[in-house]
Chains A and B, each alone.
Chain A
């Protein structure tokens, strides 16, 4: 096996391990659209990174944090609901990013690679980002796990009983931004959210506790990454869409099997 394939698989597994538990929270907290917003903002981050000559991952992380904090601040007012705010931030960031990227005539940017992920572009340096950043995300998530569950089940109960909701929310937002930044290279801007939510949604069927669902999402994610990358190699398809297709097929199979089992059980 060529070393770049091995690198891609190792990178993909790293991303799946981080995306599983975080994706569960994104489903539980109904934040799928927030993931989209951050990944669209990532395009601006890439452009900013190139403009200032910094690593694309740092650029993505920076814009992700800015957009996340902006959203938390804007949510304090009540006139404009959150989904509308997300729409404004998401499309605003995407538009800005596309303008900046297309206006950079001196630098050639592989737009397709950033939008859909590029298996060939994974460098040893990316691996360090994925596993280093991934370790930070998982450690952070483990640290806020129980308070975040409490906050997710009922905001007022959690706040009334001593959980510092604004701090926990801010940490969680930062963790999502970091995850989007490290998942970008493998999966691409447009499909990051899918890797977060599809394996988690698949795992819901088997799980009786939040922790089991998170573990299940990791396993489904790893299977999807390996299957998707294998397909990508065999049929020369882009890596991000291949991984997401594999994840969606897994979800469809589990859902169909569940529906079939339900039919058998019915009297």
Chain B
């Protein structure tokens, strides 16, 4: 991490008596991919909105580099059916761009044929790609993607994460990804933060997936989720075709 784009320090955010965010620290540097994971209701989207400057903090501070340009892909996105909106208008919602440039970026995400389509006719996966293109068209310093592969099939998810993984080198921007599909994200990311109101653990993906806080946070089913991750490692290291129960067993040992 060379220069810090976003510096979250000791942020507390309350809804009533509940601490939605509890002393959260997080940094995003230049050309970094940072992944934010956590269970439902952990405050992931709230933290994202705080970073975007859309939430009032009860404590702590969030410093953004002066003039930081952010492209944002929200988790929920539906357009009122009464509003006729072609894709090219959605792309230029907050930022003018030439048609040639629009086609160029749509091509990068694989949906250039949709430029004149109505947004109301897009599938879930197509919409996610168009939204990614829209955020990219701002030439952002930081891309904030809240669950960018929701409603996308497995093949599409892999492809979208490949596109995202290439961005820091290709475009020079940093990426903050909120996710729950750990297996795919972890490969491409520089740093992972596990959030459950507070930051349970953070670090390189392989370290985080072994931490006991992480296991605790995701509850009993975490062992299962995690089993998939080392499993992938086993396949690359020793392709002797071990079966799943062995891994669960092995994992239990590790944890205990």
Contacts and interface: CB of A to CB of B under 8 A. Distances in A.
Contacts, number: 66
Contact of A157 (B74, B83, B84): B74
Contact of B84 (A158, A163, A208): A208
Contacts of A160: 52-54, 70, 72, 144
B72 to A, nearest CB: 4
Contacts of A204: 82, 84
B89 interface: yes
Contacts of B52: 156, 159-160
Interface in B59-93: 70-72, 74, 77, 79-80, 82-86, 89-90, 93
A149 interface: yes
B162 interface: no
B107 interface: no
A213 B53 CA distance: 33
Contacts of B95: 161
Nearest to B79: A153
B210 interface: no
A28 B144 CA distance: 26
B72 A157 contact: yes
A162 B89 CA distance: 18
B94 A156 contact: no
Given A156-B72, A157-B93, A210 B85 contact: yes
Interface in B121-143: 138
A163 B72 CA distance: 13
Given A30-B80, A156-B52, A157-B72, A162 B94 contact: yes
B54 A158 contact: no
Contacts of A27: 82-83
B124 to A, nearest CB: 16
B94 A152 contact: no
B77 A154 contact: yes
A91 interface: no
A207 interface: yes
Nearest to A201: B82
Contact of B83 (A159, A162, A163, A210): A210
Nearest to A213: B84
A208 B86 CA distance: 7
A163 B89 contact: no
Interface in A130-160: 149-150, 152-154, 156-160
Contact of A156 (B74, B80, B83): B74
A28 B80 contact: yes
B80 A161 contact: no
B93 A153 contact: yes
Contacts of A154: 74, 77, 93
Q: Which 4 A-B residue pairs are closest in the complex by CB-CB distance? A: A160-B52, A161-B94, A160-B72, A28-B83
Given A153-B79, A154-B93, A212-B84, 9 more contacts: A152-B83, A153-B85, A153-B93, A156-B54, A159-B53, A159-B54, A160-B53, A163-B94, A204-B84
Interface of B: 49, 52-54, 70-72, 74, 77, 79-80, 82-86, 89-90, 93-95, 118, 138, 144
Interface of A: 27-30, 149-150, 152-154, 156-163, 201, 204, 207-210, 212-213
